[in-house]
Amino acid sequence: MAGSDILLVVRALFGAGWALSLAFSALAAERTFDWSTEGEGKLPEGFHSRLTGSGKTGDWKIVRDELPTEFKPFNTNAVSINRFPVVAQVVPSNEDERFPLLMFDEEVYGDLTFTARIKVISGALEQIAGLVFRSQDERNGYVVRINTLDGNVRFYKFVNGVRSNPIGKDYPLKKGQWYQLSVNCTGNKIKVLLDGKEAIPELTDNSFTKGHIGFITKSDTVAYFSDAHVTYRPLEMLATKLVRQVDELQPRLLNFRIYGKTASRPDLHVLAAKISADAGRAADATELKVFSENRMYYGKDNGDGVVTAPLHDRNGETIGVAKFFLKSFPGQTAANSIGRVVPTLHEIEKQVGSADDLAEE
């Protein structure tokens, strides 16, 4: 096989049931929402009221409430004797599909851990309050919330204003009591915690990769929110993120490149690579052939194996090229080299919605 590329059509030979760990470590940034310096009765700075569904817009404002002594706030300067500034949604309204939102519009987050304490004050029809994350607008985003009337924790999403079926478990929750709710997103993996413990088995969803965070209530619920805190990885180009994930999964790769096209540069070129100096490099004849023919090739580079594969979006369209450089090993063949990389290729494809996604932050 040395000196020539061998055409191999292999996608049908391998399943996609391999788990790729996307846990992010050494997060680089965090933000605590400190409302102690803001005026009581006002909307918290950086937040805006929105509405999903129908009915009255929520009335969100900073009020003061007693915080149990066993809850240590993220910002100890925020405590004033026994009264603690919280954000409240205080206007009840009985529309069944009324979802008042309070959205933080100043930043967009991808991988994150978003935590807040929540207390449901009242609600005859509903007693639901929770967190919004990776929200695109009031009609699209993820929600995790508690229900103290029915006693449960649920996850769901809005897509074009339509709410999905909820996923979750039952818990003996009570109104008038503080609960800490937390969501962790890493890639397409979503974890939900209640008071620091897993509340729902880990979820996988590819609908939204980034967005805004905020708070939500339902119908006639009046609820308080406190100690909101987000820890996150600053946004980066998806291709860069995927290269890092592949390096974590297969650290023995000599190199790994992702090729794509952008509006400013419509030729196929390296968007990101394990060897960072490769970024911007134009595609060669093999990479162009893989892209145009939608077929995988195996070749050699100074005795080491090279697998060049088409990269697909969720609809199966070819939107780029992934190139794996594997150090030579005893018994190395085209088949076993491809076998080492195809599961990883399938997993990274799950995170790519479209060609534009690759170069997006």
Q: Which two tokens stand for residue 142?
A: 């993820």
CA distances from residue 256 to 153, 161, 166, 277, 352 in whole angstroms, order as listed: 41, 39, 39, 12, 17
Q: Is the pLDDT of residue 78 over 80?
A: no
Neighbours of 299 (CB within 10 A): 18
Nearest to 312 by CA among 288, 345, 272, 277: 345
pLDDT tens for each residue of 101-140: 999 999 999 999 999 999 999 999 999 999 999 999 999 9
Which listed CATH number (2.60.120.560, 3.30.565.10, 1.20.1250.20, 3.40.50.10420) goes with 29-232?
2.60.120.560
Q: At what angle do helices 238-249 and 334-349 cross, to 10 degrees?
A: 130
User: What torsion, rounded to 10 degrees, do the Cα atoms 349, 185, 98, 102 define?
Assistant: -120
Task: Report which of 297, 300, 130, 313 is spatially closest to residue 224, judged by C-alpha positions.
Answer: 130
Report the pLDDT value the prediction gives residue 130, as an integer from 0 to 100: 98
User: Percent of the chain beyond pLDDT 90?
Assistant: 71
Structure-token match 């030729």, residue found: 267
Mean pLDDT within 152-168: 95
Residue 11 scores a pLDDT above 70: no
Q: What's the token pair of residue 312?
A: 């697909």
Which pLDDT score is estimated for 270? 95
Within 8 A by CB and 6+ apart from 349, the residues are 311, 312, 313
Q: What is the pLDDT of residue 10?
A: 35
Distance of alpha carbon 184 from the chain centroid = 8
CA distance 245 to 283: 22
Fold agreement (6-18+236-359, 29-232): no
Q: What is the pLDDT of residue 71?
A: 53
Q: Where are the domains of the chain?
A: 6-18+236-359, 29-232
Q: What is the DSSP letter of 91?
A: -
Instruction: Of 50, 64, 81, give the one whose Cα is nearest residue 158.
Output: 50
Instruction: Express each pLDDT in 326-350 by its tens digit.
Output: 998 898 899 999 999 999 999 889 8
Inter-residue contact 155 to 208 (CB < 8 Å): no
Spatial CA neighbour of 192 closest among 162, 173, 169, 218: 169
Quickly state the pLDDT bin for 266 (edges 50, 70, 90): very high
Classified by CATH at the fold level, domain 6-18+236-359 comes out as Beta-Lactamase (3.30.450)
CB contact at 8 A, 130 and 114: no
SS (H, E, C) 64-120: EEECCCCCCCCCHHHCECCEEEEEEECCCCCCCCEEEEEEEEEEEECCEEEEEEEEE
Task: Give Cα separations from 5 to 202, 285, 306 (angstroms).
Answer: 41, 11, 10
- Contact at 8 Å (CB) between 216 and 101? yes
pLDDT at 68 over 80: no
Helices (H), the chain: 238-249, 285-293, 334-349, 355-359
Query: Of 259, 208, 249, 248, nearest to 342 (Cα)?
Result: 249
pLDDT at 9 over 60: no
* Sole residue written with tokens 């009765």: 41
Tell me the sheet residues that pair with 155: 144, 167
The Cα angle at residue 337 between residues 335 and 343, in degrees rounded to 5: 95
- Token duo for residue 199: 């509340």
DSSP string, 200-251: EEEEE--S-SSEEEEEEE-TT-EEEEEEEEEEEPPP--HHHHHHHHHHHH-T
- What is the dihedral angle through the alpha carbons of 54, 93, 50, 204, rounded to the nearest 10 degrees? -80
| pLDDT tens readout for residues 218-246 | 999 999 999 999 999 888 788 998 999 89
